[in-house]
Amino acid sequence: MLKYLDVIDDTASGIGAVNLVKNCSGKLYGYNADYNGFYFLLSIIKLTPMAKKILILGTGGTARMVYYALKSNYKCTVFNATRNLENKRIKFLIT
């Protein structure tokens, strides 16, 4: 999908996934709405992952978004577990 967009939001680009496309006068803009939803969830449950150890199961789009959000905004240690050792997409998000 990314290759068909005219503009990709910085967050969506960092995650490597788009799940919201907006057509503005024929120009396609890509966003990742899950990123903002994740922060909203953290505020609702009053969870601050600062200095925590976090385990993410899987390496799909949601896992990449959570990893990106945590590593970009909190000083926490993030581990990733996958049953597919060949699937190492998550490593490209290490900051």
pLDDT tens for the 95 residues of the chain, in order: 889 999 999 999 999 889 999 999 999 999 999 999 998 998 899 988 888 899 998 888 888 899 999 988 888 898 888 776 665 555 444 33
Q: Summarize pLDDT for 3-20 with one digit per residue, the tens.
A: 999 999 999 999 988 999
Q: Which long-range contacts (CB under 8 A, 24 or more apart) does 84-93 make?
A: 84/59, 87/59, 88/59, 89/16, 89/59, 89/64, 90/56, 90/59, 90/63, 90/64, 92/16, 93/14, 93/15, 93/16, 93/64, 93/67, 93/68
- Domain ranges for the chain: 2-86
